[in-house]
Amino acid sequence: MTKKITVGNYLIKRLKELGIKDVFGVPGDYNLLFLDQIDDAENLNWIGNCNELNASYAADGYARINGMGALVTTFGVGELSAINGIAGSYAEHVPVIKIVGMPSTTVMNNKKLVHHTLGEGIFNNFSEAFKQVTVGTCILDDLDKASKEIDYILCKCYYEKKPVYIGLPIDISGAEILDNDSPLSLSKFESDKKTLEKFTENLLNKINNAKFPMILTDFEVNRYGLNNELLNFIEKSGLPVASLGLGKGVIDETHSQFIGTYNGTLSNDYIKSIVEKADCFILIGVKLTDSITAGFSFIHNLNDIDIINIHPLFSTLYNKTFSNIYMKDILTKLASNVTSRNFKKENINIEEDVPCDELNSSEILTQKSFFNKINNFIKPNDVLLAEQGTSFFGACTLNLKKNCMFVGQPLWGSIGYTLGALLGTQIADKTRRNILLIGDGSFQLTAQELSTILYNNLNPILFIINNDGYTVERYIHGANRHYNDINMWDYKSLPQVFNGSSKSVSFKVTSAKELDTVLNKINNIKDKLVLVEVVMGKMDAPKLLKNLSEKFSKQNQY
């Protein structure tokens, strides 16, 4: 007997097939029927957000841990509020499914002047905008094509690891279609064998004949879940490896071949000494952006160095692009045939280390002492989120423990992102300890999502760096300008404002000694949200951020 299913429930079935157990968003009258279907679905949770922008950040954070994420908004006002977050997911290759509840097909076909529109009878202007920040859009206005369109767009999101857009008219959500019991076509990538053989032969010739090859790796490895294949190649090659800021944590940072996080010419002396020796760079899943290369400052004259770029879906060698071979197969082939070297990193302290007397001081807390203490506070398996600005560039110098996950947004760099993302990362895996480092200026953009975190009984640790304004902007331009000032909040009291007194503990620290005491206390707190307001000087910043800001200032021609 032919089985029927509503379009909304068919979409839900496919979301669950992709491993999505939680959907973020905000209700609106054009999506309420679909939200009923989500609410009634088994093994699928609705996570309501304070606004759509925060929902998009949460879906992004969720996808970075879970592999895929989804959010639902209403038409027009809701989707445009979320487009900034979707653009960030697009820039940083995060697979997020953006679902928009739309007016009924009758309303749209008759060009009615309804609310949440521009009053022009046009209903595709917002989906057209999303075409710039997604790898595919569809509006489910044809029942005969609905299931095929859903399957196609979801597979595209899965394969390309970037957002997609699905418009779901309110009358279509509850309409019935024929069910498709076949699973989504998520077959593994298969490289062309002849091309793979020729490519890896040339690649191995480059690597094996180089005097000192080294590996730089980044975030694309994380997106495609190829960390084990990367690690196998690294260990078989015996080569030194560094990560970049977009993909910090892509490899176990306690590994004997890992030399640190590469930041172009602003890297510490040890990393620079290794990079300067290299005559062949193997770039695996790397995108060389300004904020993670110190304004595009590579150590060498690249014209004299062999550069090999391996991406998940294509690779380049001799300035030629190969699009029918895949990273997984390349790494496996390389691991089996590479000539093994015997690099072991030296036992050194990170550049940001400071004398013990400063660490134990009862005086004003500094960025240096704070990040040294956080370096010791992090445990294996933690998820560490670092907001753009002092938090991110301070965290770049940390030595992550085994199985730690690092979340930042240095390419898109939308401030306030990490608080929303924290909701997503913690929902995706409630068994892992989540730690957020965020500045006061960034926190004020998305602070209301602390309410959602408390509402869902989550227990992350938040360090709010209170340095009285936009310190990163002060270093780029306008150190004493009024536009870099913000209103001072009583940050430690916010959980109480959000009705979270019984679910949280809060602290305010102004010295290294006070921070020591608090860190010891919160190490034993497992069942409450922890908020720590950390007071620091207005112009105190990590060395990396100060130097990078100077480069940005010149780049912007201030």
**Given the residues 17, 39, 115, 537, the one annotated as active site:** 115
Q: 49, 467, 484, 547: which is the annotated catalytic residue?
A: 467
- Residue 435 belongs to what H/E stretch? strand 434-439
Residue 361 pLDDT exceeds 70: no
For residues 329 and 318, what is the distance between their CA atoms, to the nearest angstrom?
A: 20
**Measured in whole angstroms, how far is the alpha carbon of residue 389 from the centre of its chain?**
15
pLDDT digits (tens, 9 = 90+) for 183-195: 998 877 789 999 9
Lowest average pLDDT, out of 302-316, 366-380, 409-423, goes to 302-316
User: What is the full DSSP assignment across 38-101?
Assistant: HHHSTT-EEEE-SSHHHHHHHHHHHHHHHS-EEEEEETTHHHHHHHHHHHHHHHTT--EEEEEE
- Which is higher by pLDDT, 539 or 68? 68
Q: Which has the closest alpha carbon to 340: 201, 239, 252?
A: 239
Q: Is 136 a catalytic residue?
A: no
The pLDDT of 72-97, averaged and rounded, is 98
pLDDT at 351: 45
pLDDT of residue 236: 96
CB 133 within 8 A of CB 87: yes
Phi, psi of 420 (to 5 degrees): -65, -40
pLDDT at 486: 86
Residue 1: predicted pLDDT: 57
Nearest CA-CA partner of 534 in 383, 397, 418, 371: 371
pLDDT digits (tens, 9 = 90+) for 213-264: 999 999 999 999 999 999 999 999 999 999 999 999 999 999 999 999 998 8
Is 469 a residue of the active site? yes
116: annotated active-site residue: yes
473 is catalytic: yes
Choosing from 116, 141, 309, 389, which is the catalytic residue? 116
- Assigned token pair, 85: 């977050």
| Choice between 142 and 539, residue whose per-residue pLDDT is larger | 142
In sequence order, the β-bridge partners of residue 374 are none
For range 424-447, the mean pLDDT: 97
Query: Could you give the CA distance from residue 516 to residue 520 in angstroms, rounded to a whole number?
Result: 6
- Listing DSSP states for 164-185 in one string gives EEEEEEHHHHT-EEE---SPP-
Q: Stretch 488-501: mean pLDDT, rounded?
A: 95
Average pLDDT for 363-386: 94
Question: What confidence tens digit (pLDDT) does each residue in 218-229 have?
Answer: 999 999 999 999
Give the mean pLDDT of the chain. 92
The yes-or-no verdict on residue 363 having pLDDT over 80 is no
More confident residue, 121 or 1: 121
Residue 15 has pLDDT above 60, yes or no: yes
Whether residue 413 lies in the annotated active site: yes
Nearest one of 258, 264, 200 to 234, comparing CA atoms: 258
Which tens digits make up the pLDDT trace of 136-180?
999 999 999 999 999 999 999 999 999 999 999 999 999 999 999
Q: In the structure, what pLDDT confidence band is assigned to residue 344 with cuts at 50, 70 and 90?
A: confident
Give the pLDDT of residue 302. Answer: 55
- pLDDT at position 359 is 46
Is residue 286's pLDDT more than 80?
yes
Show Cβ contacts of residue 152 under 8 Å, excluding neighbours closer than 6 positions. 136, 138
Q: Is the pLDDT of residue 289 over 90?
A: no
Locate the DSSP E strands across 218-325. 241-244, 258-262, 280-284, 306-310, 315-317, 320-322
Q: Identify the pLDDT of residue 304.
A: 64
Task: Assess contact for 100 and 73: CB atoms under 8 A.
Answer: yes
What average pLDDT does range 529-557 have in this prediction? 85
Q: Give the residue with greater pLDDT, 357 vs 25.
A: 25
Stretch 109-114: mean pLDDT: 96
- Cβ neighbours for 110, distance < 8 A, ≥ 6 positions apart: none
Instruction: Give the whole-number percent of the chain exceeding pLDDT 90.
Output: 78
Active site residue 115: yes
Going by DSSP bridges, is the β-strand pair 69-74/22-25 parallel, antiparallel, or unpaired? parallel
The pLDDT score that the predictor gives to residue 301 is: 53
Burial of 208 (0-12, 13-18, 19+ CB in 10 A): middle
What is the per-residue pLDDT for 346? 76
Mean pLDDT of 273-301: 84
Burial class (CB in 10 A: 0-12, 13-18, 19+), 316: middle
Question: Is residue 457 flagged as an active site residue?
Answer: no
Structure tokens at 191: 């490289």
Q: Is 207 helix (H, G, I), strand (E, B) or coil?
A: helix
Instruction: Quote the pTM value.
Output: 0.94
Could you give the CA distance from residue 532 to residue 506 in angstroms, rounded to a whole number?
Answer: 6
Q: Name the maximum alpha-carbon separation found in the chain.
A: 78
Give the model's pLDDT for residue 349: 52
Q: Is the pLDDT of residue 538 over 90?
A: no
Residue 350, pLDDT score = 45
* 17, 29, 197, 363: the active-site residue: 29
Q: Which of 473, 500, 533, 547 is catalytic?
A: 473
Tell me: pLDDT of 348 over 60: no
At 358 the pLDDT is 45
Pairing of strands 306-310, 315-317: antiparallel
Q: Can you list the pairs that 149-156 forms with residues at least 24 positions away whose Cβ atoms lie under 8 Å?
A: 150/7, 150/10, 150/11, 150/14, 151/14, 151/180, 151/184, 151/185, 154/14, 154/15, 154/18, 154/97, 154/184, 155/184, 155/185, 155/186
Q: Which is the catalytic residue, given 101, 413, 416, 441?
A: 413
Q: How far apart are CA 66 and CA 223, in angstroms?
A: 10
Q: Which of 52, 92, 218, 449 is catalytic?
A: 52
What was the pLDDT predicted at 347? 66
Strand pairing of 176-178 and 4-6? antiparallel
Which listed residue (440, 449, 468, 533) is catalytic? 440
Task: Give the pLDDT of residue 447.
Answer: 97
Q: Quote the pLDDT of residue 299.
A: 59
Task: Determine which one of 28, 439, 469, 500 is catalytic.
Answer: 469
pLDDT at position 557? 78
Task: Report the C-alpha dihedral over residues 498, 500, 501, 507, rounded to 10 degrees.
Answer: -80
